[in-house]
Amino acid sequence: MSYNVNEKGYYGEFGGAYIPEMLYPNVEELRQQYLKITAEPDFIKEFDQLLKDYVGRPSPLYFAKRLSEKYETKIYLKREDLNHTGAHKINNTIGQILVAKKLGKKRIIAETGAGQHGVATATVCALMGLECIVYMGEIDIERQAPNVARMKMLGASVRPALSGSRTLKDATNEAIRDWINNPVDTHYIIGSAIGPHPYPDMVTRFQSIISEEIKWQLQEKEGRENPDFVVACIGGGSNAAGTFYHFLDQDQVGIIAVEAAGKGVNSGHSAATSKLGKVGIIHGCKTLLMQTPDGQITEPYSISAGLDYPGVGPMHAHLAQTGRAEFYSVTDDDAMESGLELCQLEGIIPAIESSHALAVLKERKFKPTDVVVICLSGRGDKDLNTYIDYFKL
């Protein structure tokens, strides 16, 4: 069985491009060009150079000694938190802005919920001197003031989405409307392994640098390329897709995906899509998403803004359906405890998203000889206020 995208843009029954007809030319141009462009030697050279000198790659693969002692297994952390801008998202925005330049685009649009993808997009637009417009729900603009300020400092204009629930899905609608109106000069940078084909595959390929590095780093440290398990949290699924990519077809590598259970899978305040989702269409692709019986998208909930998404990328829907990956759902409380534990055992303050991945250590027993690689997708600076409120610091 293949766990990668097929030539039609599907992972099993999931994926594809379910888009309004007026968007077809934009998406089709990208579909025809993305593999060709990203295989060109000068593209590869510039991408690699920027990942090295601007992002700071390779990110370390760190053996977490005290955490390993506590859980009686060998734990390595893939330190995406040390990247410029503090998370893995920059790997994707660098790749996409280089594609946009090759396509001759002058204007970049993006949507953002918590603002992390907006900041990563505004960053690369400043780097390349391209105009940047970020759509953001009006409610999110109020909730995420520091990221709005960052985007503005980086030269982006932040446009409020005023319709519907005034959150991420409304911002997405605005971005799509903009793209329809500006088909020639504009590229839409999607921030996770979601969207119409070719986005999930394109984003996955840019993030696959994570597992590419894990392989040679583990060879250096353990004398073998394959760990026994790779673990990552899933919002839309980009850090997970990048962490899993080079291990998808290695049967001996266990794949573990961690979703946000919020206040509990069945509490009505959750983002555990693999458990609660049904097949439907969101953001231009067929995948699992949380919806009412008549197909309305339900508002997800997680204490972590980056996991607060009602769907999951099509690759992960397929990994869940086929059983290739084990899926865990971690509550707010368990994630917060695991985040604090990492602070005190290793001196690393993780993003709350990443704390969800860490919490799997409490849920699942590993053998002492197992090598477990956990993607530490981001750092916790952005979450300090949430940590302060939660722990009454």
Ligand X SMILES: *Cc1c(COP(=O)(O)O)cnc(C)c1O
Rule CB under 6 A: is residue 274 a binding residue for ligand X? no
- Find the binder of ligand X among 31, 74, 78, 89 (CB under 6 A): 89
CA–CA separation, 205 and 219 (whole Å): 22
Residue 137 as a binder of ligand X (CB under 6 A): the answer is no
Phi, psi of 78 (to 5 degrees): -90, 115
Calculate the CA dihedral of residues 69, 340, 269, 372 and round it to 10 degrees. -30
CB of 348 to ligand X, least distance (A): 13
CA distance 226 to 151: 39
Residue whose tokens read 């409490």: 362
Determine the Cα–Cα distance for residues 32 and 95; give it in Å rounded to an integer.
Answer: 16
CA angle 172, 177, 182 (to 5 degrees): 125
- Residue 111 among the catalytic residues: yes
- The tokens of 376 are what? 């530490």
Alpha carbon 117 to its chain's center: 9
Q: Which among 62, 357, 34 is positioned nearest to 196, based on CA atoms?
A: 34
If one asks whether residue 354 binds ligand X (CB under 6 A), the answer comes out as: yes
Nearest approach, Cβ of residue 369 and ligand X (Å): 29
C-beta of 102 vs 289, nearer to ligand X = 289
Binder of ligand X out of 23, 119, 234, 276 (CB under 6 A): 234
Identify whether 89 is a catalytic site residue.
yes
Q: Cβ distance 257 to 327 under 8 Å?
A: yes
Out of 112, 238, 287, 331, point to the residue binding ligand X (CB under 6 A): 238
Q: How far is the CB of 237 from ligand X (least distance, A)?
A: 5
Which residue has its beta carbon closest to ligand X? 378
- Tell the residue number behind the tokens 């069945």, with chain if given: 266
> Which position among 351, 361, 371, 372 is part of the footprint of ligand X (CB under 6 A)?
351
Interface region with ligand X, contact rule CB under 6 A, candidates 55-63, 141-149, 153-161, 237-245: 237-245
Among 87, 176, 282, 372, the residue binding ligand X under the rule CB under 6 A is: 87
For ligand X, the binding residues (CB under 6 A) are: 87, 89, 116, 192, 233-240, 306-307, 351, 353-354, 377-378
Task: Report, as residue numbers or ranges, the catalytic residues.
Answer: 89, 111, 377
